[in-house]
Each structure stands twice: as C-alpha cells, then as structure tokens.
C-alpha cells in the first residue's frame, strides 16, 4: 500500500494516556492508541514512538516542590518507561509486535537503546518504543523525541495532542484563535507559539525534521495523516 510517510516518529504526551480519569493510565485510551498504531504498522509504515510521563510524574514540577531537579527528571524518565511498557502491552494484545528500548540500561525491563537496534526492529515490522527521554536530566521528552526522530531518520515527527493543530493562540482559552495549515519554524519562534519546547524546535529545524501536529484522540486520525495524507493538522517545517 502506498502511504504518505515511510517512517515516522510518533510523540505522545503522558497526559493523553489519562483519558477521562485525570491521572494514571486509561486502558480504553491505551487500547484506542494501540489499535490506530497497529493499523498504520500493518500498512507497512515503520513506527517509532516516544511517550512523555506527565500522567505519572513531571520532573520540572517536582523541582518547584523541593525535589532535586536531577532526581526529579530521573523520576520523570522512569514514568516514561511505565507508559512505554503499558503501550507495548496494549500493542501485544491487539496483535502488533513491539520492542521497548530504554536510554538508560534497564535490562530486562527493556533493551538498551541504540539507533541501529531501533531501525532493525522497525524494519522487522515491530513498533520501536523509545523511553527515558534522552537519558539525561534537563531535557524534556519533546527534546527526546526530536533527538530520536533525527537519529532514526524519520520522515516526520507526528505530535499527537488533544488539539487539532497549531493556532495563533490557545484555542481552549481564546475562541478567536485561528489554525495554521502549515507554518515555518521561524514563524513559530517569532510568534512565541508553544508547539514544542525551544530546544526540540531548534533541533528539528536544524536537522530538517518536519513536525506534524494533529489530534490523536480522534479515532482514525493517525491513518488519515500517515496513510491518506489528509490535511487535518498543522505542518511545521
């Protein structure tokens, strides 16, 4: 089957896994994600995934509450591993093979991450779930996903969020906010738009990795973006 993209890096936020329950992992949301991911993988798309950990612990927030920043970030990295294991388990239950790779040695919980192991897994038809962010403190999972997307030579980074693209302002707060169908990295910077954190945005710009922002919480949207190439989100390039 002809698809819009051959290899993608899908960035999911930890918060999105909470679904309607406000904390932890909503199994229904997890299953919906797994089903959508399986659909594109079965169509021949090579899939790499990075998940945040904000539904469990956020290092930066911990630092404001008296946690040591490095230890807080390490706790956040472990949160991403929990989410990665949950997604891997959900993928297995819908019949999609996957492998969990960790930036910090955590055998037998996951395999040690390397670019070549991730690509090998994807070429075998497995979904490569890359956890622990960059493995270093002071970097967000946004930056981790930018780094991994560049390393695995993805065609695009898909940022699955709860909004359907990039707007002139926060559409949840400003009803007059207008959506961009596409926007340049420079304009994102000039307007001060929150697509990803600055480090991640600059990395993607310098390494020519486009970002596509779309609403992952609507069933079928992943297929529309990756396989059909429907313009349902915002392309940042």
% residues pLDDT > 70 (the chain) = 98
Mean pLDDT across the chain: 93
Beta carbons of 112 and 105 less than 8 angstroms apart: yes
- DSSP code, position 9: E
Is residue 63 scored above 70 in pLDDT? no
For residues 37 and 125, give the distance between their C-alpha atoms in angstroms, rounded to a whole number.
Answer: 12
CA distances from 83 to 11, 73, 155, 235 (A): 12, 15, 24, 27
With cut-offs at 50, 70 and 90, classify the pLDDT of residue 64: confident
Q: CA geometry: angle at 122 spanning 120 and 127, to 5°?
A: 130
The pTM score is 0.94
Please report the pLDDT score of residue 62 as a whole number: 64
For residues 210 and 204, give the distance between their C-alpha atoms in angstroms, rounded to a whole number.
Answer: 7
Structural domains for the chain: 7-236 (3.40.1160.10)
When pLDDT is averaged across residues 217-225 and rounded to a whole number, the result is: 95
With cut-offs at 50, 70 and 90, classify the pLDDT of residue 86: very high
Q: Point out the least confidently predicted range of 19-33, 53-67, 89-103.
A: 53-67
* DSSP codes joined into one string, 24-53: S--HHHHHHHHHHHHHHHHTT-EEEEEE--
Q: Point out the least confidently predicted range of 62-71, 105-114, 153-162.
A: 62-71
With cut-offs at 50, 70 and 90, classify the pLDDT of residue 218: very high
């Amino acid at each position: 089957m002809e698809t819009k993209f051959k290899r993608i890096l899908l960035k999911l936020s930890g918060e999105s896994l909470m679904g309607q329950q406000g904390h932890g992992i909503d199994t229904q949301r997890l299953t919906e994600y797994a089903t959508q991911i399986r659909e594109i993988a079965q169509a021949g798309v090579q899939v790499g995934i990075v998940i945040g950990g904000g539904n469990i612990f956020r290092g930066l927030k911990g630092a404001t509450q008296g946690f040591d920043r490095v230890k807080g970030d390490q706790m956040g990295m472990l949160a991403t591993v929990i989410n990665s294991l949950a997604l891997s388990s959900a993928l297995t239950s819908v019949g999609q093979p996957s492998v969990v790779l960790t930036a910090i040695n955590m055998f037998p919980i996951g395999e040690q991450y390397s670019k070549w192991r991730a690509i090998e897994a994807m070429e075998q038809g497995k979904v490569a779930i890359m956890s622990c962010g960059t493995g270093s403190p002071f970097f967000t999972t946004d930056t981790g996903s930018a780094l991994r997307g560049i390393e695995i030579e993805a065609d695009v980074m898909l940022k699955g969020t709860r909004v359907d693209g990039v707007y002139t302002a926060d559409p949840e707060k400003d009803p007059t906010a207008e959506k961009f169908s596409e926007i340049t990295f420079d304009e994102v910077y000039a307007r001060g738009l929150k697509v990803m954190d600055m480090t991640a945005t600059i990395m993607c710009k310098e390494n020519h990795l486009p970002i596509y922002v779309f609403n992952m919480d609507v069933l079928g949207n992943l297929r529309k973006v990756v396989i059909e190439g429907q313009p349902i989100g915002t392309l940042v390039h």
